[in-house]
Amino acid sequence: MCFGTGLCSATAPELFTLGPDGYAVPRESELTDPADISVAEEVAECCPREAIILRRADPG
């Protein structure tokens, strides 16, 4: 669970913002640009609470 360090929104403001409660909110629910996916993967690895979970879309 996010505890609002803001690391994700500071590192990738194009992908994450902080909501009114101070917790991270993704700007998009689905990423298609390979560069954005790469950045999201890096940010997820750096999250101190491991609160960012990325899932591959179901190809079917």
Domain count, the chain: 1
How far apart, in whole angstroms, are the C-alpha atoms of residue 57 and residue 60? Answer: 9
Report whether 43 contacts 12 (CB < 8 A). yes
pLDDT, one tens digit per residue, over 9-24 is: 999 999 999 999 999 9
Percent of the chain with pLDDT over 90: 90
Note down the domain range covering 32: 1-60
Q: What is the CATH number of the domain that holds 56?
A: 3.30.70.20
Total-model pTM: 0.85
CB count within 10 Å of CB 42 equals 11
